């Protein structure tokens, strides 16, 4: 297998709005990130993925961009950006930008022009259609509720927006759009950034016929078959690769909702013709269902093992995995798959989940606060939420009578993206040390117990556990490169797997339950000889017949 730096790296995702506020306006900013660069160095990560910092009216917290080559005023200036980039590079940390080019903001100059007239030079930058019998051109629903079409009275046509109304989809079939996007990417590369995380890049190519989709629970049609992994997506990414990516030493990861293993082999092909890796969502969607994500079902461990193991074995030698439990769109993993009922279980399960993920093959991603075991948030009522997806879904589902309000509030508390978006918990001072002003979204009240200062001062903290996992990946080649095999596929409580490289073997044992579990150490592992690389129960030694503790994780090398 070809070795490269991005296969050996650990990435840390920063959601700038909630990371660190340097000027007391309640909103995280670039100077705040620069201030905390030593914290990231201490954690040991190699790469920062920065969620969008471009100029934006913030209909979707920066995922609606009105100028790709300007910094959002609330976050600072281009000089602040350059200083932050230099501060990262001085410490040997690379910086990957979020590239949001499936859509722009409706306030982007391209769209402002495009909507002016039917023959404006920018008209074809977006996807405009005539209505059908006085209604939308097709039945597609938007990801953020309602129709995916918006009527624009000035030219009496509809434009497509797979996300919010303020996020019109770009028309990638227009070569001028591709030229403009590639030129902008090149501008950032020349500035010295180290890569791109590409927002919903699997959705840039639409079937030009735009056929109706199968109606889902909301009554709108599913655009999936016609807009996800669409007809020209690989062609456009290959063009992007030829014209921009291949000319620099970059790390690229495509956010590919709806991607299958087969498709991923194309997006992240080892031949390097498209992207380095993709984010797939099969494991995160295991607790979804009929009403999309809005329920409080628990992920079944046997299914989780099956999905993750399939990605491990199928991509081996063909493409490269990215490994994640958390990002700015997902609830906190310790509240989802772990146990926050007692401090002891919280700490053990957070470490166990980290072990399970970080010992797999692929590039691991740590989302801000995950390294502290930050949890879901006890939001009160709807006014505590800021996320457009959550607020729209609440209105749509309760007003149509599909879900009663109290029930929907329960689902929001469990699944809302805002669970990941509350301020980073730096210390136990007011507002968790995030701001001296009023934070833009509530702080999780558990910051007095869960914060960076407390954990940095305590050797057996979750922070230090992540630090060790990250260090091990650099010290032991078997962690990035060893071959994966699942053991005990049917066991409903344990996630156990091996990694093999040359004559070395790694055994990863994770107990996903609070009950103790009997475990027999498999051959060829020898309890006397195996080296313990890491574990979450202190100076634990393996035995042939062992009793695993609540949420125990143990990694052996032989
Ligand atoms: O997310 C794409 C995406 O698939 C999400 O809409 C996902 O389905 C949802 O968040 C799950 O609840 C990306 C960004 O990560 C997200 O923050 C943006 O809102 C979205 O694209 C639009 O740019
Ligand atoms: Ca600020």
Mean pLDDT for the chain?
97
Kindly state the percentage of the chain with pLDDT values over 90: 97
Which atom of ligand 1 approaches the CA of 102 most closely? 23
Tell me: pLDDT of 247 over 80: yes
Task: Please tell me the predicted confidence (pLDDT) of residue 216.
Answer: 87
The residue from 74, 80, 165, 199 that is catalytic is 199
Nearest CA to ligand 1 atom 14: 199
The vertex-283 CA angle with 18 and 100, nearest 5°, equals 45
What is the per-residue pLDDT across 348-399, written as a single tens digit (0 to 9) for each?
A: 999 999 999 999 999 999 999 999 999 999 999 999 999 999 999 999 999 9
Q: How confident is the model at residue 319 (pLDDT cuts 50, 70, 90)?
A: very high
Q: How far apart are the CA of 338 and the centre of ligand 2, in A? A: 33
**What global pTM score does this model have?**
0.98
Q: How confident is the model at residue 315 (pLDDT cuts 50, 70, 90)?
A: very high
Q: How far apart are the CA of 253 and the centre of ligand 2, in A? A: 28
Averaged over 399-406, what is the pLDDT? 94
Which atom of ligand 1 approaches the CA of 64 most closely? 23
What lines the ligand 1 site, CB under 6 Å?
A: 60, 63, 100, 143, 163, 199-200, 255, 257, 293, 328-329, 389, 417
Averaged over 452-478, what is the pLDDT? 98
What secondary structure letter does DSSP report for 382? G
CA atoms of 430 and 15, how far apart (whole Å): 20
CA atoms of 51 and 67, how far apart (whole Å): 15
Nearest CA to ligand 1 atom 5: 329
Nearest CA to ligand 1 atom 4: 257
Ligand index nearest the alpha carbon of residue 419: 1
Task: Please tell me the predicted confidence (pLDDT) of residue 393.
Answer: 95
Q: How far apart are the CA of 397 and the centre of ligand 1, in A? A: 19
What is the per-residue pLDDT across 185-243, written as a single tens digit (0 to 9) for each?
A: 999 999 999 999 999 999 999 999 999 999 988 899 999 999 999 999 999 999 999 99
Q: How far apart are the CA of 477 and the centre of ligand 1, in A? A: 34
Task: Please tell me the predicted confidence (pLDDT) of residue 352.
Answer: 99
Tell me: pLDDT of 181 over 80: yes
Q: How far apart are the CA of 329 and the centre of ligand 1, in A? A: 6
Tell me: pLDDT of 290 over 70: no
Task: Verify whether residue 314 is a known catalytic residue.
Answer: no
- Kindly give the residue spans of alpha helices, DSSP state H, lying in 400-457: 405-415, 452-456
CA atoms of 223 and 138, how far apart (whole Å): 10
Which atom of ligand 1 approaches the CA of 293 most closely? 12
Of 305, 311, 187, the C-alpha closest to 256 is: 311
Averaged over 54-71, what is the pLDDT? 98
Q: How confident is the model at residue 178 (pLDDT cuts 50, 70, 90)?
A: very high
First to last CA, the chain: 22
CA atoms of 244 and 189, how far apart (whole Å): 8
Give every CB contact of residue 264 below 8 A, 6+ residues apart in sequence.
256, 278, 280, 311, 315, 319
What is the per-residue pLDDT across 92-114, written as a single tens digit (0 to 9) for each?
A: 999 999 999 999 999 999 999 99
Contact 516, 479 (CB under 8 A): no
Nearest CA to ligand 1 atom 18: 63
The vertex-357 CA angle with 355 and 363, nearest 5°, equals 125
Task: Please tell me the predicted confidence (pLDDT) of residue 291.
Answer: 58
Task: Verify whether residue 199 is a known catalytic residue.
Answer: yes
Place of tokens 């620099």: 248
What secondary structure letter does DSSP report for 16? G
Tell me: pLDDT of 126 over 90: yes
Tell me: pLDDT of 292 over 90: no
Q: Is the dihedral of CA 104, 108, 114, 120 positive or negative?
A: negative
Nearest CA to ligand 1 atom 23: 63
The residue from 74, 255, 287, 339 that is catalytic is 255
- Give the tokens for residue 210: 């735009």
Averaged over 51-66, what is the pLDDT? 98
Ligand index nearest the alpha carbon of residue 101: 1
């Amino acid at each position: 297998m070809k070795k490269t730096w991005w296969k050996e790296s650990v990435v840390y995702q920063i959601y700038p709005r909630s990371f660190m506020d340097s000027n007391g306006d309640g909103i995280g900013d670039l100077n705040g990130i620069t201030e905390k660069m030593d914290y990231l160095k201490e954690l040991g990560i190699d790469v920062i993925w920065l969620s969008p910092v471009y100029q934006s009216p913030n209909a979707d917290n920066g995922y609606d961009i009105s100028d790709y080559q300007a910094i959002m005023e609330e976050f600072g200036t281009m000089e602040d950006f350059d200083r932050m980039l230099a501060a990262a590079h001085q410490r040997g940390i690379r910086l990957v930008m979020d590239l949001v080019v499936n859509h722009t903001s409706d306030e982007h100059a391209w769209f402002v022009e495009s909507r002016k007239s039917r023959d404006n030079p920018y008209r074809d930058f977006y996807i405009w259609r005539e209505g059908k019998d006085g209604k939308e051109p097709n039945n597609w629903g938007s990801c953020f509720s309602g129709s995916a079409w918006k009527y624009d009275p000035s030219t009496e046509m509809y434009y497509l927006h797979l996300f919010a109304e303020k996020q019109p989809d770009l028309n990638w079939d227009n070569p001028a759009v591709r030229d403009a996007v590639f030129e902008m990417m090149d501008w950032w590369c020349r500035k010295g950034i180290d890569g791109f995380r590409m927002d919903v890049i699997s959705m840039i190519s639409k079937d030009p016929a735009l056929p109706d989709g199968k109606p889902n629970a909301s009554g709108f049609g599913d655009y999936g078959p016609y807009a996800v992994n669409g007809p020209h997506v690989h062609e456009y990414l290959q063009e992007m690769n030829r014209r921009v990516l291949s000319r620099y030493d970059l790390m690229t990861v495509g956010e590919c909702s709806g991607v299958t293993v087969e498709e991923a082999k194309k997006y992240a092909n080892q031949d390097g013709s498209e992207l380095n890796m993709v984010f797939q969502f099969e494991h995160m969607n295991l607790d979804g269902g009929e009403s999309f994500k809005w329920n409080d079902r628990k992920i079944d461990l046997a299914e989780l093992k099956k999905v993750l193991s399939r990605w491990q074995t199928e991509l081996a030698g063909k493409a490269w995995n990215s490994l994640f439990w958390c990002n700015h769109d997902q609830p906190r993993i310790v509240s989802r798959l772990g146990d926050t009922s007692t401090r002891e279980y919280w700490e053990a399960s957070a470490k166990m989940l980290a072990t399970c993920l970080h010992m797999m093959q692929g590039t691991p991603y740590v989302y801000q606060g995950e390294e502290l075991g930050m949890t879901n948030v006890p939001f009160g009522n709807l006014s505590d939420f800021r996320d457009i997806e959550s607020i729209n879904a609440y209105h749509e589902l309760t007003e149509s009578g599909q879900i009663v309000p109290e029930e929907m509030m329960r689902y929001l508390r469990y699944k809302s993206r805002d669970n990941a978006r509350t301020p980073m918990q730096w210390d136990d001072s007011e507002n968790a040390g995030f701001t001296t002003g009023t934070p833009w979204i509530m702080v999780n009240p558990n910051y007095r117990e869960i914060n960076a200062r407390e954990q940095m001062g305590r050797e057996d903290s979750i922070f230090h556990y992540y630090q060790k996992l990250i260090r091990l990946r650099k010290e032991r080649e078997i962690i990035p490169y060893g071959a994966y095999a699942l053991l005990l596929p049917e066991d409903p409580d344990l996630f156990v797997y091996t990694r093999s490289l040359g004559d070395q073997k790694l055994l990863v044992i994770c107990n996903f339950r609070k009950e103790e579990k009997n475990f027999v150490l498999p051959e060829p592992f020898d309890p006397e000889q195996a080296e313990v690389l890491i574990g979450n129960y202190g100076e634990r030694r393996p035995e042939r017949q062992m009793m695993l503790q609540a949420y125990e994780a143990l990694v052996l090398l032989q």
